Amino acid sequence: MRPRTAGGLSRANAVRLGLMALPVAFFALFFAYPVAAIVARGLEADGDWQLGRIGEVLADSGVRHVLWFTTWQALASTALTLLIALPGAYVFARFEFRGKQVLRAVVTVPFVLPTVVVGSAFLALLGRGGLLDELWGVRLDTTVWAILLAHVFFNYAVVVRTVGGLWSQLDPRQEEAARMLGASRLAAWRKVTLPALAPAVAAAALMVFLFTFTSFGVVQILGGPAFATLEVEIYRQTSEIFDLATAAVLTLVQFAAVGAILAVHAVTVRRRETALRLVDPSVTARRPRGAGQWALLGGVLLTVVLLLVLPLAVLVQRSLDAPGFAYYKALTSEDGGIFLVAPIAAVVNSLQYALAATVIAVLIGALAAAALARRDAGRFVRGFDALLMLPLGVSAVTVGFGFLIALDEPPLDLRSSWILVPLAQALVGVPFVVRTMLPVLRAVDTRLREAAAVLGASPWRVWREVDLPLVRRALLVAAGFAFAVSLGEFGATVFIARPDNPTLPVAVARLLGRPGDLNYGQAMALSTILMVVCAVALLVLERLRVPSRTGTAGEF
């Protein structure tokens, strides 16, 4: 019989409820409440719910076109990303070559870059006066190809890490046994390896679809007025047209779509966790053999250089176009008139905000992961796990504007407080903390906790002396990812960052939105600074990287 507390709850359930209390309160106050407030503001008039407005909005041909384009470009981006990235996943999983760890970090850099930096990099490559324009007179900005290529750039690491992480742990002897029984190489791969990889490919595809379905910064910078995703249209309806009813309906549509995606993703993850027998990745990787494998490695390296390295290199080059580092020096001047402070102040602001957001995200995410790690978690707890992922898919624009609408009265009057930006950034960081720490916490032998409890240790002491030493590295990795994604958050921050305290992504977007070579050069310079900070954080993470024990999705 399980020991019970005075109130009748089992001790395990009491501990779980205690762990979940703060994360639930955090998401209720700073996610559910602002989103509900902005949706209610849009659909309520004179005390009555205008539910008929939903049908009116969905019947609008312009809105239907936005829905169609959002879905189409997400499907196209997902298919193109899988086509280009799956060979890379195989190379990282099965080949051992010099510089592999550095290349793995390089591949992951685009994923943690802010979307405005990605847009800036491709603008420098494909836009007016970009590299292709200078060499061959070709411009791809304001075309769908620029959006698709930028999405592949951003999500390449999702496929390589998710599929490659599992592929490296599949026992190659199963495929070899099939070939010994007479199956061709293709037939053995199709009947043995592909079914084992299918859940990982599905999980990666769903995550790429989620990120591209809710794309904002990339489409805003590269798409021009001809293309708009749901997220861009919500921003336009909210900040330019001030049609909150239409924005609320679009938010509900996006919310429903994201919920369906996450539900399917949860099923694929559970299949991966229960259906596979995995081996140590160190025994599956080997040096390439034969001309075909060396050609495949060379093709992947060329793809990485052209698709991932070249846009970033052009970004750096454009920031250095003016002699004497003029664009960087201009960042220290307040003469531009765009901000109330010099643009360089955005660097300090972003670092301070990101550090505060990291502390919040690690605290909330670690408590949530500890509650979810217990193997007897019920349906309510699993539902909370899905809730933690919603900030990655629900409109950040809605969250940001919801902050302004909802958090403007005591006791939550935070509109003039600096903490508003870190709170919004932490909402995006918490899912990464949970996804990083959860597999490691689940791998901790429960008998260690039970032995400590039998000896009289309190739950806090059990966590401090048993769990923490085992998950310290995962905690550092989680903090690094939370810092990187907080640093680059744009959708919500663009609403709530004050003119005298702009963040780096907001500063870049505002500079790109104004004409003139100086503004463009400063945007490239700030983007380069932001890219370097993210890359340094990622290289530190690569040295601390937690080896995957389950091959589950979400571990980068």
For the stretch 405-439, pLDDT in tens is 888 777 777 877 888 899 988 988 888 888 777 77
Q: What is the pTM of this model?
A: 0.77
Predicted local confidence at residue 276, as pLDDT? 47
Instruction: Give CA–CA dist 106/306, Å, rounded.
Output: 13
Q: How far is CA 421 from CA 26, 169, 218, 355, 497, in A?
A: 15, 40, 21, 11, 7
Instruction: Give CA–CA dist 263/268, Å, rounded.
Output: 9
Nearest residue to 338 via CA among 492, 498, 503, 514? 514
Token pair 């999983």 in the structure block, residue: 93
pLDDT of 280 above 70: no
Please calculate the CA angle 96-102-106 and round it to the nearest 5 degrees: 115
Nearest residue to 372 via CA among 381, 383, 363, 360? 381
Give the rounded distance of the alpha carbon of 515 from its chain centre: 30
Instruction: Give CA–CA dist 295/316, Å, rounded.
Output: 30
How much is the mean pLDDT over the chain?
78
Fold of 1-47+322-548: MetI-like fold (1.10.3720)
Predicted local confidence at residue 73, as pLDDT? 93
Predicted local confidence at residue 8, as pLDDT? 45
pLDDT band for position 553 (50/70/90)? very low
Average pLDDT over residues 44-69: 77
Residue pair 141/133 in contact by the 8 Å Cβ criterion: no
Indicate the CATH number for domain 51-128+139-319.
1.10.3720.10
pLDDT of 169 above 50: yes
Predicted local confidence at residue 78, as pLDDT? 95
Give the rounded distance of the alpha carbon of 530 from its chain centre: 16
DSSP letter at 277?
Answer: -
Share of the chain residues as helix, strand and coil, in percent rounded to the nearest 5: 75, 0, 25
Token pair 């490659």 in the structure block, residue: 164
Average pLDDT over residues 503-511: 83
Sequence length of the chain is 556
Instruction: Please check whether the two domains, 1-47+322-548 and 51-128+139-319, share a CATH topology.
Output: yes
pLDDT band for position 554 (50/70/90)? very low
Instruction: Give CA–CA dist 375/382, Å, rounded.
Output: 11
Instruction: Give CA–CA dist 69/224, Å, rounded.
Output: 14
Instruction: Give CA–CA dist 261/78, Å, rounded.
Output: 13
439-442, long-range: CB within 8 Å, 24+ apart, which pairs? 439/546, 439/548, 439/549, 439/550, 439/552, 439/555, 440/470, 440/471, 440/474, 440/546, 440/549, 441/369, 441/370, 441/373, 441/467, 441/471, 441/474, 442/373, 442/375, 442/550
pLDDT of 272 above 70: no
pLDDT of 63 above 80: yes
Instruction: Give CA–CA dist 472/11, Å, rounded.
Output: 25
Instruction: Name the token pair of 401.
Output: 């504007």
Instruction: Give CA–CA dist 222/225, Å, rounded.
Output: 9
Instruction: Give CA–CA dist 337/519, Å, rounded.
Output: 11
What is the residue extent of each domain of the chain?
1-47+322-548, 51-128+139-319
